[in-house]
Chains A and B, each alone.
Chain A
Amino acid sequence: MISGEEERMDAAGIPYMIRPGKGPEGSVLDLLGQLIGSGGADALLLPFRVPSGDSFAWIMFSDVSLLKDAVPFPATMPVQGGRALRSLTRKEKGKLRIIALMRPCEIRAGMELSKLGQVNTENLILASYDCPGAVKLEDYVADPVSCDSAHSEMRSRGEPSGNARSACSTCVDFSMVDADIHFGYFGIKDGGMLVLPGSPAGRALLEGLNLEEGRGLLPQWEAEISRLAERRAATREETFRETAERISGFDGMLATFSNCIGCHNCQSACPICYCRLCYFDSEVSRTDPEALITAAEKRGGISIPPDRIMFHTGRLAHMSLSCVSCGQCSDACPVSIPVADVFSFVAERTQRAFDYKSGRSDGEALPLRRFLKNELDGVHEMVKDAESEASPNE
């Protein structure tokens, strides 16, 4: 992101700034209000606190007076924003021009879904912000008040803390992604904020607002982002190493997923799992009872229902190329399986094998759909590397 800064400025224009005052949250809401007011968009899609107070929900609205109740940087992520975008634009672009403010991983999920024909970005203005990570749902529901203050603390430090999701601690794409507008505030003193156009559409919108030029703030923001990215990359390495060890071999997989209760919450919460009916919930994937009996006779015993590992490996095969490592799956797991750690780890490798990175704007074709003359050249080496990573003693 940092290295692409010049390129970005060429395409999208110069950065703007908002002076300290209301703090990032207030500034973002102000600016979104101005955008609606100026006619740049018809509606907004933002998180709001639910009446019970212990969660957030996506609300689409055009009445600017509601804006004051929105929570632009919510502490948790109950419904992945990619899913919200899909609900709005699954069939067509929609009549309204909507600005959606989301975490970078939610925008990345939206990009993947748009490649998969599930999201139409044509009438969407996607806005992202520097994300310190999300608090685990479980923790938040138990004590929203202290979690809110913990999250506020995370935002000021730019780093996930103890009750953040593991996926957030290992996330290196937590700042500017391929959104139309990005709000950057990490490392900027006294609550000032950068407003960065990320696309010609974003630039056109911002140009109408008479914002102050913000190039001067860039260096401190960039320095902070790269410092934080380095720290998270180190955590990522460490987590990947542990994961490799944990899931090594069939026994490793079995141990990792042995307490899976088969609720398939991970799949329901996953923004990328876009199938109408998951293959693994469909009749065709179910083993014939007769075959179960045969298998039991032959092996002496089998676990019922079968295919627990198959579900997870199958899902890895189906969607790890598009996995954005948002961590929803782990949050949704009632028995605390580190699903997201496994998926991030595998996704990083499968995406590398196809020289692909999920979540970038729709120009890049999905690996499954393109045929290259020379593909998977280094895959054998990769498998060997993965094996030696998993068993470093050999």
Chain B
Amino acid sequence: MRAKVGVYICECGPNIAEKVDIDGIIAGLSEFDGFGETELVVKKYGFLCSKSGREFLEEEIRNLGLTHLVIGACSPRDHDSTFKGVCGRTDLNPYLYRIINIREHCSWVIDDVEKATEKAESYLRGGIARVLRQSELFENPIDVNPDVLVIGGGVAGMQAALSLAAEDRRVSIVERSDRLGGRALELSGLSSGTFRGSDIAAGQVESVMGNPYIDVFLNTGVSSVIGFLGNFVIELLSDEDGATTEISSGAIIAATGCAVYDPSLSGSYNYSDRDDVYNPLEISRMLSSEGGVALRSGGRPENIALVHCAGRDELNYCSGICCGVMMKTALLLKESIPGVDITEFYRDICVPPHEGRQLYESVLEAGVDLVRVESAGLSGTTVSFREKSGVEDQRSFDMVVTAPALIPSPDTADIALLLGIPLDDTGFFQEAHRMTDPSGTTTDGVFIAGTSQGPRGILDSMRFARASAGLILTRLIIGEKLVPEVAVSEILEAYCTGCGNCLEVCVYGAIYSDGSKGVSVVNEAICRGCGNCFGSCPSGALRTKHFTNTQLYREVDEALR
């Protein structure tokens, strides 16, 4: 069929019309014979984006039987979607249309009418050349599974499950250990006042167990994950009997939690198992036990040092919650051991805004000795420290409590590998975008929550879980289909040598290697058409649809004619 390209130039009121000689372009393009057999229809209009402009275009497409559409107007950021919509209301495939920016690129930036016109005309010629080489692409909506798999049964995982589970959406929680509740349950001894992490977790466990739409797999790990947003198939592996269970879900939340740093790994903390050195979790356990807080020898400590920031220098991050935990620990120790002397060695006070100064003031009121130090180290239960003024000193105590940083849980790297999501340089899961998409990952359909993404407190973890759950509620809508990206990459098998460059640069894990053929293959359901692979392929085996070399080269060639 002979191509018939409609070229419509928007005057944008005086915005384009004043600086670009549109009639001149119409005359020039009408006379131009560089497109061979192709028939060009070139017209102008006041405001193509207006309702009447859009209707005009629709009529033109229908009445003239246009095979391609080129719009000369503003930035695609303003109205690309407007004109795609116009195509959508006709039979013209939206991928056979192109908008050419002759406003921001020409009329708004070039004073000389002749030059602006020349540039606009060359852009339009390029656009025509490109659109003639574009191909129809078709959106292919797919059914989705609304169910969700949550990896990790801590406060974040449980909260996500509770937010999502409903009559028409089942949630599975897979938990490595033999119980739900995660780290928060270990904090029962530190529960008091507004800080009741273990109560929160216990309450959640009850709700989860009583929820008919949540399935819980304890003592179970994940052994394989395949699929993409809307259609994942996951194999679970029981640690108890090695049995595997296959489940399917539309999305996955990784809420694998955190672990605590081992202070003895730090060069400045020298102590052994025989010394009375504990972390707040261990103090919590003692506080909730019958015997209360006691020394290894059996006696009660008369003086206790709390030393902040274990691992902060080694890991090069501040966990942000330890100061608060330490101050609460100090208060509870004061309460639990009458007459005990407590000295808290801290470097910088960093407590979340909500806690405010109240906590700090209560600690002062309770008679805790707060010592600001530049650095502090341990030798058994002797604390050596350097004050801000430079004075160095050391003091011995009956007991020392350290404040180890939160680190990624040991499973994090394995889970990341299974899910095809990267870790950042701290070893926690890396977000899709640190700021604008902190709950998403590079694998669409895989979300992260809680301390698996970075150190944070219980309430923030739960909010984070609700965020991931919320994203799933907006992505996997019951009864609605998903439309995957159509301008994806493809690999021409005949050219591919399987070197794997593309595989390495694909952040979405959309490319895999077919060993038997020695080639790489794109999984179009996962590919988002970013084009990274395209740039990495030396042999031209890779092609990103709608951005092929031929399309780009011809556009440039024609524009530079």
Contacts and interface: CB of A to CB of B under 8 A. Distances in A.
A310 interface: no
Interface residues of B, number: 26
Contact of B34 (A91, A279, A287, A290): A290
Interface in B466-524: 494-501, 504-505, 513, 515, 518
Interface string A272-300: 00111111001011011011001100100
A274 B496 CA distance: 10
Interface in B536-553: 536, 538-541, 548-550
Contacts of B548: 284
A294 B561 contact: yes
Contacts of B496: 276
Contacts of B495: 275-277, 282
A368 B501 contact: yes
Contacts of A282: 495, 539-540
Contact of A117 (B34, B500, B549): B500
B557 interface: yes
Contact of A368 (B515, B536, B540): B536
A288 B554 contact: yes
Contacts of A370: 504
A90 interface: yes
Given A90-B518, A278-B539, A288-B557, A118 B497 contact: yes
A117 B538 contact: no
A380 interface: no
A116 B500 contact: yes
A287 B518 CA distance: 30
B505 A368 contact: yes
Interface string A221-264: 00000000000000000000000000000000000000000000
Given A90-B518, A294-B561, A118 B499 contact: yes
A277 B539 contact: yes
B499 A285 contact: no
Contacts of B541: 275-276
A270 B518 CA distance: 21
B561 A274 contact: no
A369 B557 CA distance: 31
A155 B97 CA distance: 67
A318 interface: yes
Contacts of A116: 499-501
A186 to B, nearest CB: 35
B360 to A, nearest CB: 36
A274 B501 CA distance: 12
Contact of B539 (A91, A275, A298, A369): A275
A71 interface: no
Contacts of B497: 117-118, 274-276
A288 B496 CA distance: 24
Given A274-B499, A275-B495, A290-B34, A319 B539 contact: no
Contacts of A288: 554, 557
Contacts of B500: 116-117
Given A284-B549, A290-B34, A298-B561, A319 B538 contact: yes
Contact of B557 (A91, A92, A294): A294
B337 to A, nearest CB: 48
A213 to B, nearest CB: 41
A370 B500 CA distance: 12
Most buried by B among A92, A117, A287, A318: A117
Nearest to A279: B540
Contacts of A366: 501, 504
B104 to A, nearest CB: 27
Contacts of B518: 90-91, 117
Contacts of A318: 538
A369 B504 contact: yes
A139 B212 CA distance: 85
Contact of A369 (B498, B505, B538, B554): B505
Contacts of A277: 494-495, 539-540
Contact of A276 (B513, B536, B539): B539
A295 B558 CA distance: 10
A285 B550 CA distance: 9
A284 B495 CA distance: 12
B338 to A, nearest CB: 53
Given A117-B498, A368-B505, A284 B550 contact: yes
Contacts of A284: 540, 548-550
A117 B561 CA distance: 41
A279 B498 contact: no
A279 B538 contact: yes
Most buried by A among B496, B499, B513: B499
Interface in A332-386: 365-366, 368-370
Nearest to B498: A117
Contacts of A117: 497-500, 513, 518
Nearest to B543: A284
A275 B538 contact: yes
Contact of A294 (B34, B539, B550): B34
Given A275-B539, A276-B497, 20 more contacts: A92-B515, A116-B499, A117-B497, A117-B513, A117-B518, A274-B499, A276-B541, A277-B495, A277-B540, A279-B538, A284-B550, A287-B557, A288-B554, A291-B554, A294-B557, A295-B557, A318-B538, A368-B501, A369-B505, A370-B504
12 contacts: A116-B501, A118-B499, A275-B497, A277-B495, A277-B539, A277-B540, A284-B550, A288-B554, A291-B557, A294-B34, A294-B557, A365-B504
Name the 5 nearest CB pairs between A and B, nearest first: A275-B539, A369-B504, A279-B540, A318-B538, A116-B499
